[in-house]
């Protein structure tokens, strides 16, 4: 290792003044060391490889760009807008990315930057050769910024210098090599022409490649000025206010920021939860939402009190809204006819004194744009007809009802009609009625099983591509033949627990066994109880590609017919899984407990176990009940059952909630994948046994890791719901003559829920529990240093501290907790990245999001299969259902048998001649024939599957049975 | 994610250096000859530290006199204009005091204080510009200042910082690298291969320290050579003067 | 066995020789391996078997016999502390001073209490270094009519290594000015004592030997200045500026050079001109 010194000549200085958020001025003075050994990165060049310098490990970066005749130099806007094209295997094979461009991209969009960097890695060598050229540090391409030269012009000039350099550096009279700058910037193209530098617009480049499919992908990025002049002013939303106005508004409390959530029932209504206000603010109407998407971080301004509204009582689904074609008609207003009627109706029926704070969106801080799956609205394309090949603007209706239609340009709308397509959103200028986006890819025909599954996964941002090679390389080389190493026992850090009577209890067909239990009586009469969890952190080392992939996925996703693993199945179903009869590594928590249920000692240790048996729930229950079986496993089960009942009672006494959600199990038919039956999952005592011990383990571990790392311990909390969340349901219960849900504590909730019974209907109590669940807040992961101890409380489990420890195979948070526990017991040091609180906060946020998305995806999958099952029925089914929500134009119904939830539209139960009236204060709809349909009523409904022609969407149609 | 790509896959840092390259190092002795017995100025990149040494001289306070050796007192002053924005209160009192104390301790082993008992040596360090941590610059400036003042020493102390980007050590970090990464300041006495000063402010994994120390020691040696060269230039000019 | 290069320049920590036969003086130290290293930046000097490294830059290093100019900082127990610009203040014992009443007069207790009458804090004096202690401190004496409190003049300080040690350090200069060049770099410029008619008359008036000595001694400790004419003041200022010019151009200072530079400076009618850097450099160039 040598340390080199720099000479004076090779230093340039970048001096500028920058203003900060607080309004101060910072004078930034930066050095730039110019060098002569910045390689051009091409195999053609012998000179540069001769000068190459080794890095810290002694490796030399090998040349990347191949011996082809065309290198593309890309500029910032191309990278930002056309990243999908850059990733496409059929174009952009040898690309030079000037470092100036990379920095600009990084400042504007981290996600595009990550994708760009991923392209420069060596894993794509055969198809994609992207090289980052550090133009600002190379003597040949460095240039000082001139006086009065704007930053943009300066950057453009630097990029032109790079193109020029490559042409001169690699030019060869024998070959026809050329380096071309790809840019859409008018001015830049002109300057290139005048300076004799080869340049082309993206459109020209793709055209020259001659691939029609690619042309479609090119988002037409004409200059904004051009577009404005061409396009008629369709409409105008209020333009967003400037950043400085936002800052000053937030500071003076005149404006507020929060996340926008659009209502599932009514896409015209949204709420923004603002810090400092217990009730979220309403945003009503498309113009008030001002182009914000669901999930965006927005800045809102409260409207004057006279304009405050109540939450909308009507159902509005975007499907039913006739979307206006843009080019043909001129719409001066934003609202469609139908929308306007809805709003009018609302305004007329609004009762005074019940309005809630209402606001309008004045700026968007962070967009929550992702890929959207949808299909082309039928007005624009006819499936089966030939495409003319001309570029046309079409509207794509996304699957997610809360998203507005997206306008894209395509040459083959008819080909794509009837297919599920993926689009990305680029922009939503204030003069455009719809957001502007571009086509990404087609998934397959609508109703095609593969396409629909992929659609669900994409919509919920679930990473389902196969594990990257780098991650697979982190697995043990022996693969399936891996055996635990006995030698580790000698060091004393891992205990030998192979002689314990350990067994596991899981659902039938379970391959990935996370946990196993044991129990026996000690000589002193106390019980020794143990929970053994798969030792995933042994196989997944921090900061390896495998770890990063797991952290990204954060959880396994369970769809009806598919499981998207968080970790490769070699680990999940074999090496980590605590399979019976084989030796496996585990992380054990062992308690010594008195027969009365008091814990006298707790021990944490890494261990080597050998599970005796892997029971299914029913098997274990049977063994427990069978008095003739008295082997040590049966005895162990009995002790476990006894203790688990004690633990459960303790928890209920403390106020743990026992809420039910309709969990359904789909019975698949034959291989053709049409389900024949849908069952509700039945619970047996042994389910509760396992659950209790898992909870105990989680709580015990939570205490331990909090003690050891009070700042960075990863825990899980469940904030208590504000009493106001229960207002609506309590009002409904009161009207119906039932006792209220007491909200003072979780115990109060649990106890009061027990009293809400209908002697005539045993399911009623379950129904109320299901509805009460929806009033709860959701549990979340958090880093211990971010909250005070009282806020660690898990409301639903009635415990003061909680974490997830017991399922590391399918949850990433558990892997982190394993590592933290390892450090707490002195087994292994915490990796350095886990000390940084900011890293943990990122992981926590990611985990919370992915967890939520995985749940939603699972539910969407169930819904889809239920729909498919209904489709296979020849006749509509008549089922029992409960009214759980009443709108002015419909009823929300829950069918417990299949856990199905859907809507009966007022059009289907009444008509012009026989109108229905809405009794708002009594939560009821009264039909013309006098029949009263009110909240919690049990009614018969006719259920069938219905295909919407316009959207190609299959949904469930319910009518009165 | 940080604002900058600290160490690019192509091996270049935020300012274009590679992992093992020092910033432009400039130093001079006798810059404030009229104001103090010894003076020096050190520039490491855009950091600039000026050192003035008064002494060995009669102690200003009788009480602080030590009959066996010279008393070394260090004061560090950071100028309000030294950073990217003008501040009224520069790095807080405690930090500066700690810095002064560390310097006193480091040099206590190297200055042959017993040769000048009953005297005191007052060292004033003025940080005029900070880019990266100032400890290294202060050590180098103080070493040269003491030499210029003629204080007898065992040897030079050359110092340089090193930052750790994951497992890659980066020599002589600038302030962007210092604020984002854990970093160490290492000082080496003379031509030995041993570090006589190691100060770390953030957490660093022990296993990662060895390669960073090695790199830093190499860096210190280079700095030592540059400083030695500068001292000789000064000696030569002084000698010329005497001949006249 | 390395032979040290005797004309060599050394920096701290540099190896001088590994031969143990040499004696090590100032500016060197022995390392753990018994080799000799330099501890300062300077030039190697060899005197017989003694090796020293003389630092080229540093405070005044007192040598026995040096004629110095210093300032009283403290009046202490039977002695004064004198600040010389060395590493430590020098001490001037009560017994090393000429007191009124004769050289061999015994010092009584009164004298002790009246030390301030003779020399108090802030007074300037010139003296000779009598003894140098091991730790670097030194003792002075003023046992000669040449030495004593200084009056009628102005102090000029230059770096001590610019002073060339000469046999006589006090010089009579043109223009009615005397200079006492202290080896420690403090230079006292004053009106020539020879031009004092009052003094001579008093002497003649008294005419007694004893009184002669008395009055001389009394004069030595007198506090007030005599009359000094404007021209003399201007000449003194001019000499001051010349000395500063020599110091700024890093040239050695000694009597004849001082005379030379003064003559060269007469070209500039206004002594203030000499403050300009170009003028200083010009004058110095002329001297070479």
Tokens of B205: 């994994």
Q: Assess whether C44 and C113 both reside in one domain.
A: no
CB atoms within 10 A of CB B123: 27
Answer yes or no: do B24 and A110 touch at CB < 8 A: no
Q: Which residue of A has its CA nearest to B203?
A: A832
Mean pLDDT of A458-481: 86
Answer yes or no: do C88 and B191 touch at CB < 8 A: no
At residue A670, the pLDDT reads: 46
Whole-number Å distance between alpha carbons of A104 and A97 = 11
When the pLDDT of each residue in chain B is averaged and rounded to a whole number, the result is 87
- Would residue C208 count as lying in a domain? no
Whole-number Å distance between alpha carbons of A59 and A387 = 53
Asked if C25 reaches chain B (Cβ–Cβ under 8 Å), the answer is: no
Distances (CA, A) of C254 to A483, C164, C251, C257, C260: 93, 6, 10, 6, 10
Min CA distance, B244 vs chain A (Å)? 33
Q: Assess whether C249 and C187 both reside in one domain.
A: yes
- Would residue C219 count as lying in a domain? no
At residue C197, the pLDDT reads: 38
Mean pLDDT of A20-39: 82
DSSP symbol at A447: T
Q: Assess whether C32 and C99 both reside in one domain.
A: no
Whole-number Å distance between alpha carbons of B217 and B171 = 10
Q: What is the pLDDT of residues C182-221, one digit of tens each?
A: 999 999 999 887 644 344 444 444 444 444 444 555 566 6
Distances (CA, A) of B212 to A56, A124, B130, B140, B166: 10, 33, 22, 20, 11
Cβ–Cβ < 8 Å for A951, A375: yes
Picking from B38, B155, B241, the nearest residue to C12 by CB comes out as: B155
Answer yes or no: do B149 and C58 touch at CB < 8 A: yes
Selection from B227, B41, B211 nearest residue A5 by Cα: B227
At residue A217, the pLDDT reads: 65
Structure-model confidence comparison of residues A325 and A543, the more confident one: A543
Q: Which residue of C has its CA nearest to B112?
A: C39
Report the top-level CATH class of A8-218.
Answer: alpha beta
Q: Is the pLDDT of residue A789 over 80?
A: yes
Phi-psi label, residue A24: left if phi above 0, alpha if psi -120 to 50, beta otherwise: beta
HEC sequence for A287-312: HHHCCCCCCCEEEEEECCHHHCECCC
Q: Assess whether C86 and C135 both reside in one domain.
A: yes
Return the domain boundaries, chain A. 8-218, 469-714+785-855, 721-776, 875-960
Distances (CA, A) of A520 to A404, B56, C157: 61, 79, 95
Answer yes or no: do B112 and C55 touch at CB < 8 A: no
- Would residue C127 count as lying in a domain? yes
Q: Do domains A8-218 and A875-960 have the same CATH topology?
A: no
Computed from CA positions of residues C95, C101, C105, C111, in that sequence, does the dihedral angle turn out positive or negative? negative
Answer yes or no: do B116 and C135 touch at CB < 8 A: yes
Mean pLDDT of A168-187: 84
Q: Which residue of A has its CA nearest to B85?
A: A26
Cβ–Cβ < 8 Å for A564, A467: no
Question: Residue A16's beta-bridge partner residues?
Answer: A28
Answer yes or no: do A134 and B16 touch at CB < 8 A: yes
Q: What is the pLDDT of residues A686-719, one digit of tens each?
A: 888 898 999 999 999 999 999 998 888 999 999 8
Selection from C70, C188, C174, C173 nearest residue C121 by Cα: C70
Residues 189-218 (B) with a CB less than 8 A from some CB of A = 203, 205, 208, 211, 214-215, 218
Structure-model confidence comparison of residues A588 and A543, the more confident one: A588
Among candidate residues C149, C180, C212, the one where a domain is terminated: C149
Q: Which residue of A has its CA nearest to B3?
A: A107
* Choice among A446-450, A679-683, B156-160 with the minimum mean pLDDT: A679-683
Answer yes or no: do B156 and C57 touch at CB < 8 A: no
Pairing state of beta strands A557-558 and A563-564?
Answer: antiparallel
* Total residues belonging to chain A: 961
Picking from C27, C43, C251, the nearest residue to B244 by CB comes out as: C251
* Choice among A98-107, B188-197, C52-61, C102-111 with the minimum mean pLDDT: C102-111
Whole-number Å distance between alpha carbons of A885 and A901 = 11
Q: Is the pLDDT of residue C129 over 90?
A: yes
Chains contacting chain A through 3 or more C-beta pairs under 8 A: B
Q: Assess whether C191 and C132 both reside in one domain.
A: no
Q: Assess whether C138 and C241 both reside in one domain.
A: no
Tokens of C278: 């170009």
Tokens of A772: 């009460």
Q: Assess whether C134 and C23 both reside in one domain.
A: no
At residue C7, the pLDDT reads: 61
Tokens of A688: 């509760």
The residue to which tokens 């060098």 are assigned: A35
Using alpha carbons only, what angle is made at residue A893 by residues A887 and A894, rounded to the nearest 5 degrees? Answer: 145
When the pLDDT of each residue in chain A is averaged and rounded to a whole number, the result is 82
At residue A628, the pLDDT reads: 87
Picking from B8, B19, B25, the nearest residue to A56 by CB comes out as: B19
Q: How far is CA A221 from the centre of its chain?
A: 29
CATH architecture of B25-243: 2-Layer Sandwich (3.30)
At residue A817, the pLDDT reads: 94
Asked if B20 reaches chain A (Cβ–Cβ under 8 Å), the answer is: yes
Q: Assess whether C32 and C118 both reside in one domain.
A: no
Asked if A378 reaches chain B (Cβ–Cβ under 8 Å), the answer is: no
Min CA distance, B132 vs chain C (Å)? 28
Picking from C9, C13, C58, the nearest residue to B190 by CB comes out as: C13
Whole-number Å distance between alpha carbons of A943 and A945 = 7
Selection from A406, A608, A622 nearest residue A499 by Cα: A608
At residue B148, the pLDDT reads: 92
Mean pLDDT of A272-291: 82
Mean pLDDT of A8-17: 76
Mutate to test the interface with B, among C5, C7, C12, C89 (most CBs of B within 10 A): C12
Q: Chains A vs B: touching, with 3+ CB pairs under 8 Å? A: yes
Q: What is the pLDDT of residues A715-748, one digit of tens each?
A: 999 988 888 888 888 888 888 888 888 888 888 8
Q: Assess whether C141 and C171 both reside in one domain.
A: no
* Choice among A66-70, B138-142, C252-256 with the minimum mean pLDDT: A66-70
- Residues of chain A in contact with residue B129, where contact means CB-CB under 8 angstroms, are 29
Whole-number Å distance between alpha carbons of A867 and A902 = 11
Q: Assess whether C263 and C179 both reside in one domain.
A: yes
pTM of the model: 0.67
Whole-number Å distance between alpha carbons of A677 and C81 = 110
> Containing H/E element for A941?
strand A938-947
At residue B225, the pLDDT reads: 92
Provide the domain count of chain C.
3
Chains contacting chain C through 3 or more C-beta pairs under 8 A: B
Answer yes or no: do B119 and C40 touch at CB < 8 A: no
- Would residue C213 count as lying in a domain? no
- Residues of chain B in contact with residue C83, where contact means CB-CB under 8 angstroms, are 58
Distances (CA, A) of B168 to A619, B209, C36: 55, 10, 40
Domain around C241: 151-195+229-288
Using alpha carbons only, what angle is made at residue A917 by residues A915 and A922, rounded to the nearest 5 degrees? Answer: 160
Alpha helices in A129-275 (DSSP H): 151-170, 186-194, 202-209, 212-217, 224-230, 243-251
Q: Assess whether C113 and C168 both reside in one domain.
A: no
Picking from A2, A32, A39, the nearest residue to B218 by CB comes out as: A2
Size of interface A-B (CB pairs under 8 A): 109
Mean pLDDT of A312-326: 52
Size of interface B-C (CB pairs under 8 A): 106
Among candidate residues C40, C55, C70, the one where a domain is terminated: C55
Among candidate residues C90, C118, C149, the one where a domain is terminated: C149
CATH of domain A875-960: 2.40.50.140
Picking from C73, C135, C252, the nearest residue to B244 by CB comes out as: C252
HEC sequence for A501-517: CCEEEECCCCCCCCEEE
Alpha helices in A306-391 (DSSP H): 337-349
Whole-number Å distance between alpha carbons of C152 and C195 = 12
At residue A536, the pLDDT reads: 92
What ipTM did this prediction achieve?
0.88
Mutate to test the interface with B, among C9, C11, C83 (most CBs of B within 10 A): C11
Q: What are the E-state strand segments in C193-277? A: none
């Amino acid at each position: 290792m040598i340390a080199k010194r720099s000479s004076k000549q090779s230093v340039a200085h970048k001096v500028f003044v920058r203003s900060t958020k607080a309004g101060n001025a910072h004078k930034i003075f930066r050095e730039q060391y110019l060098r002569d050994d910045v390689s051009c990165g091409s195999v053609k060049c012998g000179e540069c490889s001769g000068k190459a310098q080794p890095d810290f490990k002694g490796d030399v970066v090998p040349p990347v760009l191949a011996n082809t005749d065309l290198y593309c130099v890309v500029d910032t806007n191309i990278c930002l807008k056309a990243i999908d094209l850059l990733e496409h295997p059929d174009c952009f094979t040898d690309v030079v990315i000037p470092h100036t461009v990379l920095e600009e991209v990084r400042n504007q969009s981290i996600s595009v930057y990550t994708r760009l960097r991923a392209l420069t890695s060596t894993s794509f060598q055969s198809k994609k050769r992207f090289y980052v050229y550090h133009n600002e540090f190379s003597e040949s391409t460095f240039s000082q910024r001139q006086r009065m030269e704007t930053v943009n012009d300066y950057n453009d000039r630097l990029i032109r210098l790079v193109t020029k350099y490559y042409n001169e550096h690699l030019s060869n009279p024998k070959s026809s090599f050329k380096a071309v700058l790809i840019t859409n910037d008018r001015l830049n193209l002109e300057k290139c022409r005048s300076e004799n530098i080869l340049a082309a617009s993206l459109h020209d480049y793709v055209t020259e490649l001659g691939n029609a499919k690619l042309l479609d992908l090119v988002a037409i990025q004409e200059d904004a000025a051009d577009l404005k002049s061409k396009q008629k002013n369709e409409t105008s939303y209020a333009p967003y206010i400037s950043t400085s106005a936002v800052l000053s508004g937030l500071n003076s409390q005149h404006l507020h920021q929060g996340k926008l959530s659009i209502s599932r029932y009514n896409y015209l209504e949204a709420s923004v939860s603002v810090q400092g206000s217990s009730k979220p603010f309403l945003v009503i109407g498309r113009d008030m939402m001002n182009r914000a998407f669901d999930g965006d971080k927005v800045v809102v301004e409260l409207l004057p009190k006279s304009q405050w509204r109540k939450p909308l009582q009507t159902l509005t689904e975007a499907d039913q809204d006739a979307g206006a074609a843009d080019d043909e008609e001129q719409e001066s207003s934003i609202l469609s006819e139908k929308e306007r009627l809805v709003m009018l109706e609302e305004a007329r029926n609004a009762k005074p004194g019940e309005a809630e704070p209402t606001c309008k969106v004045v700026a968007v801080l962070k967009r929550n744009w992702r890929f959207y799956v949808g299909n082309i609205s039928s007005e624009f394309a006819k499936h089966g007809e030939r495409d003319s090949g001309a570029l046309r603007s079409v509207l794509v209706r996304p699957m997610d009802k809360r998203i507005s239609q997206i306008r894209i340009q395509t040459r083959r709308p008819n080909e794509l009609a009837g297919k599920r397509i993926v689009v990305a959103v680029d922009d939503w200028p204030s003069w455009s009625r719809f957001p502007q986006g571009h086509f990404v890819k087609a998934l397959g025909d609508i109703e095609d099983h593969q396409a629909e599954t992929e659609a669900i996964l994409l919509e919920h941002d679930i990473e389902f591509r196969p594990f990257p090679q780098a991650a697979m390389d982190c697995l043990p080389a022996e693969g399936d033949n891996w055996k635990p190493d006995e030698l580790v026992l000698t060091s004393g850090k891992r205990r030998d627990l192979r002689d314990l009577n350990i067994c596991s209890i899981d659902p039938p067909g379970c391959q990935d066994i996370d946990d196993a239990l044991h129990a026996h009586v000690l000589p002193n009469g106390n019980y020794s109880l143990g929970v053994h969890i798969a030792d995933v952190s042994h196989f997944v080392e921090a900061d390896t590609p495998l770890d990063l992939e797991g952290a990204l996925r954060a959880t396994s996703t369970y769809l009806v017919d598919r499981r998207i693993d968080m970790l490769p199945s070699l680990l999940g179903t074999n090496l980590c899984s605590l399979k019976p009869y084989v030796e496996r590594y585990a992380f054990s928590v062992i308690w010594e407990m008195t027969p009365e249920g008091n814990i006298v000692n707790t021990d944490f240790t890494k261990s080597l176990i050998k599970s005796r048996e892997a029971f299914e729930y029913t098997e274990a229950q049977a063994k427990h009940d069978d008095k003739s079986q008295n082997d040590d496993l049966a005895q162990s089960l009995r002790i476990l059952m006894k203790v688990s009942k004690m633990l459960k009672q303790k928890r209920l006494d403390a106020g743990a909630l026992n809420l039910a959600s309709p969990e359904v199990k789909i019975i698949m038919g034959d291989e053709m994948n049409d389900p024949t039956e849908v069952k509700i999952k039945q619970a047996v005592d042994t389910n509760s046994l396992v659950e209790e011990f898992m909870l105990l383990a989680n709580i015990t571990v939570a205490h331990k890791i909090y003690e050891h790392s009070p700042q960075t311990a990863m825990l899980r909390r469940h904030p208590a719901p504000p009493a106001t969340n229960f207002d609506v349901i309590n009002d409904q219960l009161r009207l119906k003559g039932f006792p209220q849900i007491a909200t003072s504590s979780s115990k109060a909730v649990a106890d009061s829920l027990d009293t809400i019974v209908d002697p005539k209907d045993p399911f009623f109590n379950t129904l109320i529990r299901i509805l009460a669940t929806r009033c709860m807040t959701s549990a979340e992961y958090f880093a211990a240093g971010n909250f005070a101890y009282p806020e660690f409380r898990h409301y639903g489990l009635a415990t003061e501290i909680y974490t997830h420890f017991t399922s590391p195979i399918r949850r990433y948070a558990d892997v982190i907790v394993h590592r933290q526990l390892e450090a707490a017991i002195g087994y292994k040091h915490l990796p350095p990245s886990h000390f940084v609180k900011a890293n943990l906060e990122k992981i926590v946020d990611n985990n919370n999001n992915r967890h939520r998305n995985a749940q939603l995806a699972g539910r969407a999958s169930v819904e889809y299969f239920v729909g498919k099952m209904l489709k296979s029925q020849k006749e509509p089914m008549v089922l029992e259902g409960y009214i759980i929500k009443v709108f002015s134009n419909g009823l929300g119904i829950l069918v417990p048998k299949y856990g199905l939830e859907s809507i009966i539209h007022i059009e289907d139960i009444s008509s012009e001649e026989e109108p229905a009236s809405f009794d708002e204060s009594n939560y009821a709809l009264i039909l013309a024939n006098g029949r009263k349909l009110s909240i919690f009523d049990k009614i018969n409904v006719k259920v069938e599957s219905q295909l919407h022609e316009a959207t190609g969407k299959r949904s469930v149609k319910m009518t009165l049975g | 994610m940080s604002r900058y790509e600290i160490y690019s896959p192509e091996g270049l840092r935020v300012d274009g250096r590679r992992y093992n390259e020092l910033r432009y190092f400039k130093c001079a002795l006798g810059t404030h000859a009229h104001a103090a017995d010894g003076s020096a100025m050190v520039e490491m990149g855009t950091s600039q530290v000026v050192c003035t040494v008064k002494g060995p001289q009669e102690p200003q306070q009788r009480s602080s006199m030590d009959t066996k050796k010279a008393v070394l007192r260090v004061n560090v002053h950071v100028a309000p204009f030294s950073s990217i924005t003008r501040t009224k209160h520069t790095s807080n009192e405690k930090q500066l005091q700690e810095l002064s104390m560390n310097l006193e301790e480091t040099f206590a082993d190297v200055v042959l204080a017993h040769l000048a008992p009953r005297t005191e040596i007052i060292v004033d360090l003025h940080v005029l510009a900070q880019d990266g941590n100032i400890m290294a610059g202060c050590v180098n400036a103080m070493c040269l200042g003491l030499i210029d003042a003629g204080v007898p020493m065992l040897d030079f102390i050359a110092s340089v910082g090193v930052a750790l980007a994951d497992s890659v050590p980066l020599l002589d970090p600038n302030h962007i690298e210092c604020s984002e990464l854990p970093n160490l300041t290492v000082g080496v006495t003379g031509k030995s291969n041993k570090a006589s000063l190691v100060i770390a402010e953030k957490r660093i994994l022990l296993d990662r320290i060895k390669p960073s120390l090695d790199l830093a020691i190499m860096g210190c040696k280079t700095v030592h050579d540059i400083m030695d060269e500068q001292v000789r230039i000064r000696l030569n000019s002084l000698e010329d003067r005497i001949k006249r | 066995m390395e032979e040290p290069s005797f004309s060599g320049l050394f920096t701290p920590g540099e190896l001088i020789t590994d031969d143990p036969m040499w004696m090590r003086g100032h500016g060197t130290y022995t390392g753990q391996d018994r080799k000799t290293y330099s501890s300062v930046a300077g030039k190697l000097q060899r005197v017989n078997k003694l090796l020293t490294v003389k630092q080229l830059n540093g405070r005044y290093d007192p040598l026995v016999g040096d004629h110095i100019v210093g300032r009283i900082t403290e009046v202490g127990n039977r002695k004064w502390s004198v600040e010389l610009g060395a590493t430590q203040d020098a001490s001037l014992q009560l017994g090393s001073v000429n007191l009124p009443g004769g050289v061999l007069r015994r010092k009584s207790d009164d004298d002790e209490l009246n030390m301030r009458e003779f020399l108090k804090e802030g007074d300037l004096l010139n003296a000779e270094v009598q003894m140098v202690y091991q730790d670097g401190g030194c003792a002075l004496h003023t046992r000669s009519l040449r030495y004593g409190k200084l009056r009628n003049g102005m102090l000029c300080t230059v770096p001590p290594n610019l002073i060339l040690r000469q046999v006589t350090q006090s010089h009579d200069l043109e223009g009615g000015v005397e200079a006492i060049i202290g080896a420690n770099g403090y230079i006292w410029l004053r009106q020539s004592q020879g031009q004092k008619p009052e003094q001579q008359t008093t002497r003649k008036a008294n005419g007694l030997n004893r009184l002669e000595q008395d009055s001389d001694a009394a004069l030595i400790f007198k506090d007030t200045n005599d009359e000094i004419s404007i021209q003399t003041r201007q000449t003194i200022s001019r000499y001051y500026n010349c000395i500063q010019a020599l110091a700024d151009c890093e040239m050695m200072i000694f009597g004849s050079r001082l005379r030379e530079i003064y003559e060269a400076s007469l070209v500039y009618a206004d002594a203030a001109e000499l403050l300009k850097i170009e003028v200083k450099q010009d004058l110095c160039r002329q001297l070479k």
